[in-house]
Structure 1
Amino acid sequence: MLSTPNHENKNNTFALHLEKKEIRTKMLYRKFLTVLLLCVTIASYAQQKARWIGTWACAQQPVDKHFMPYNNQMTNRSVRQIVKVSIGGRLIRLLLSNELSAEPLEITSIYVAKEEYKIEPLTARYFSFHGKKGVHIAAGRAIFTDALKFDLKPLEKLSITINYRKAPKSPTVHMGSRTTSYILKGTSNPMTNFASALKENHWFNISSIEVYDKDVAAIAILGNSITDGKGSTINAQDRWPDRMSETLNNTKEYNLLKSGRMGILNLGIGNNRILSVGLGIPGKDRFNRDILTQHGLSSVIIFEAINDIGTSKNPEETAQLLIREYEKMIIKAHERGLKVYGGTITPFKGCKGYYTEEREKCRKTVNEWIRSSGKYDGIIDFDQLLCDPASPEQLRKDLHIGDWLHPNAAGYKLMGEYAAKKILQFEENKKTEVTHIKKIKDKPLLSNR
């Protein structure tokens, strides 16, 4: 049967309709790809844009007279403090804290120079505050210096000298510096000899150092005395975060990012707890101030609870309270786009006043949750790393300082190198996830058929 002209017109109309629909579909698809490409370009630009990133930090504390019983009055004193940074940069700034003092802090000047207390005078540079050398910091406040051009190398030691005009009777400090500070009467300059200075192993008012860079990120660590470095070597900078930084920033094979650098920020406080007051503000309360306010973060390590467990009067309840606070901190970090890695709680059988069978059950409950809850983006299993295989409830004999609680220098070295390797694995997994997502985005979302 032959087609009628009317039937042919209908077929032509239908074909034309299909052709127009296909054209519109292709145009929509092209617009979608254009928008997607624009988004990717913007995201790429944002990633490449330079920003401030932490290279060193310490958690601030009020003075505890039990640990710092001497006169801490720094009025009309010059205090030289030594720190070891993680990443380098050509533009730096310093954060000064008077947050935990009841009186204002007045500083005449601050200068920074290379190396130890015997500085290299030609490397010295003065910080400024809105173009001026001096600064007044109100009680309860912290303030950044202006940006300063300074050729800072990764893993380099810096000397920071503060000339105090007037200081609070009870300063804002970090007590467990494991690093000597040098105190002279009067005002110093880069040529001043500090050989006769009073020596104290504490940091005063210095809170963080940042570099201005791109393609670099930092990790902030919440911890107690094991992170703060009790048992490490004075002035050797051999806490486990220091060893982690050395592994990440000093070995070519460990390239976390394109630049191969990672800022390590140690916010540990000795005798600190998550749930209640030990030394310093409890971890659950200082997480916002000490961790989430750090600049340039990509991730957080939570490795704290041993003091809560070792002093607990109700270990079963303590386990549940710790888990609840961990979950809250993880949520806060994830809301800010940060990865969160959990450190398992290390053994402490043999530690007088801490160990009981009930508290050991609490530790195991907490560690089991850390490992199996799925809340963390990765696990750093310090428990398995340091435990005695023949007696998993206690540390290996060759890895602690004799109190069955704190690792020694060898233990910290093992922890730092292990943590660095785990971070590299986590970062590689993150890259794989991003690549997988990109491949999905690159696939056509509309059929050409």
Structure 2
Amino acid sequence: MSTSSTSRTVKRAGVALLATIALGTLPFAASGTASAAAAHNGGAWRGGWAASPQSPAAPFGANWSPQGFANHTVRQVVRVTTGGTKARIELSNRYGTGPLRITGATVALTDEGASVKAGTVRPLTFGTHRSATIPAGRTLSSDGVPFKVDALQSVTVTLYLADPTGPATFHHFASATSYRADGDHRADRDGAAFKESSGSWYFLTGVEVSGGQPNRRDGIVTFGDSITDGVGSTAGTDNRYPDELAERFAAAGKPRSVLNHGIGGNQVTNDTTWAGEKGIERFKKDVLTEPGVRTVVVLEGINDIGGSGPSFPGGPTPVVSVEKLIEGHRTLIRQAHAKGIKAVGATLTPMKGSFYYSPENEAKRDAVNEWIRTSGAYDAVVDFDRAVADPKDPDALLPAYDSGDHLHPGDAGFRVMAEALDLDEL
């Protein structure tokens, strides 16, 4: 495809497919798994929902991760993007300081709040055992259990943690509500015992499904920072841009695995104390271990640009040049291609008026976006920048798409971002 043709496609804020990647079966990354029971079964499993694990921290107020749990039941609600007839969960102790004991776990269809639908509670096993221990730094998948779930249906995962867990691996910005009860309430149908709530997810990093449709390698991972993570969307509504993309596939009668591996505050090139390992490192663990993935959409770099300022939580991170940020993106592309995954580059969205904005930072954003649009390094490009920018002031978000902080889109902005991706070309 010629440069002029690519430019025209980008101006439509669509995705131009520049290369065809041969289909194949993704290998499951053996490192980081706690047992052979966690191995992916010949590509039969599809990602229904996912979240990237983070180290315990509380940069924006109290949550349960620093203290962890002891004789607690934790109930968490997630929405799967594709359905099936069998399900299993993935739990992570990546940032634990010692072994994590899972006394028991269940999965059920969600009713309202912390309650679940009658007759849907299914006990989960791990290598045929009701309990499991996950070593520090490792991840474990449960055994599969018969469980009929439809695309865009909410699932409730309940963990009983009898022994002290120590600081908990978690995902900070859930934009959803998790619940906690004292004692063992893993099999409860109603939510009366769950008196406490949190806006984060704990230990749970995946729900996978199988059956119900032919096995195809057509999964999509969205990789990035808080904008992918959904910061700025209305909590409890599943209005992040990856959610909206999954809804578009479902509405077209083609439900797809769309997995969100965004972390608020994450950077491509710098590790942070509270926002995850740098993208070029965590990409291997979060994206390349997912089953059946064909495409990754990369939207990341705004925190590399703005993180060197005093407004970055936890203190400034090292200054990142345009050249270093571009090399970081090239590293992500190489990692994706090595696994046969097509890489779609997304332009960085506007930040004028936000705490990140300065003429110097804007010049960096413009330079990175120009490289994403014109270099041909990515297999395809989606121009989120132009999709949500104010035509009267292209360095700023259109007010109707702004969540209010001039950096993160709101619900309407996330919807427009999802619409910028061409379903047929994906």
Q: Give the TM-score normalised by the residue count of structure 2.
A: 0.83
Can you list the C-alpha shifts for 1:34-65, whole angstroms capped at 9, x where unaligned? Answer: xxxxxxxxx99989x76222111000001113
1:283-294, aligned counterparts within 5 Å? 283-294=279-290
1:121: how far off? 2.9
Mapped contact 1:178–1:201 kept (Cα < 8 A): yes
Answer yes or no: is 1:343 the counterpart of 2:340: no
Distance 1:53 1:59 in 2: 16
1:31-46, aligned counterparts within 5 Å? none
Aligned-residue CA RMSD in angstroms? 2.1
User: Which amino acid in 1 is paired with 2:46?
Assistant: I
Distance 2:84 2:189 in 1: 27
Distance 2:25 2:417 in 1: 34
Count of paired positions: 373
Structure 1: 5+ residue stretches without partners: 1-42, 253-259, 428-449
Answer yes or no: is 1:368 the counterpart of 2:370: yes
Name the one with the larger helix percent.
1
Closer, same or farther: CA 315–97 of 1 in aligned 2, 3 Å: closer
Answer yes or no: is 1:55 the counterpart of 2:54: no
Distance 2:75 2:297 in 1: 30
User: Which amino acid in 2 is paired with 1:51?
Assistant: A
1:240-319, aligned counterparts within 5 Å? 240-252=241-253, 260-278=254-272, 279-312=275-308, 318-319=321-322
Answer yes or no: is 1:89 the counterpart of 2:80: no
Q: 1:393 aligns with which of 392, 395, 399?
A: 395
1:210: how far off? 1.3
Matched with 1:413 is 415
SS in 1 for 2:406: coil
Closer, same or farther: CA 45–312 of 1 in aligned 2, 3 Å: closer
SS in 1 for 2:420: helix
Q: 1:65 aligns with which of 53, 58, 65?
A: 58
Distance 1:70 1:379 in 2: 37
Report percent identity of matched pairs.
Answer: 34
Distance 1:312 1:189 in 2: 44
User: Which amino acid in 1 is paired with 2:390?
Assistant: D
1:231: how far off? 1.2
Closer, same or farther: CA 369–131 of 1 in aligned 2, 3 Å: same
Q: Which has the higher contact order (CA 8 A, sep 6+)?
A: 2
SS in 2 for 1:83: strand
Larger Rg: 1
SS in 2 for 1:232: coil
1:141-152, aligned counterparts within 5 Å? 141-152=138-149
Mapped contact 2:383–2:420 kept (Cα < 8 A): no
SS in 2 for 1:292: coil
Closer, same or farther: CA 137–307 of 1 in aligned 2, 3 Å: same
Distance 1:201 1:44 in 2: 38
1:226-237, aligned counterparts within 5 Å? 226-237=227-238
Distance 1:245 1:44 in 2: 21
Distance 1:144 1:231 in 2: 31
Matched with 2:218 is 217
Mapped contact 2:92–2:169 kept (Cα < 8 A): yes
Mapped contact 2:217–2:293 kept (Cα < 8 A): no
Structure 2: 5+ residue stretches without partners: 1-21, 27-41, 310-316
1:113-132, aligned counterparts within 5 Å? 113-116=108-111, 117-132=114-129
Distance 2:189 2:141 in 1: 25
Distance 1:357 1:140 in 2: 41
Q: 1:330 aligns with which of 330, 333, 338?
A: 333
1:135: how far off? 0.8
Matched with 1:191 is 188
Can you list the C-alpha shifts for 1:109-163, whole angstroms capped at 9, x where unaligned? Answer: 1111112421013011011011111111111111110111111111110000101
1:312: how far off? 4.1
Distance 2:369 2:23 in 1: 38
1:346-361, aligned counterparts within 5 Å? 346-352=349-355, 354-361=356-363
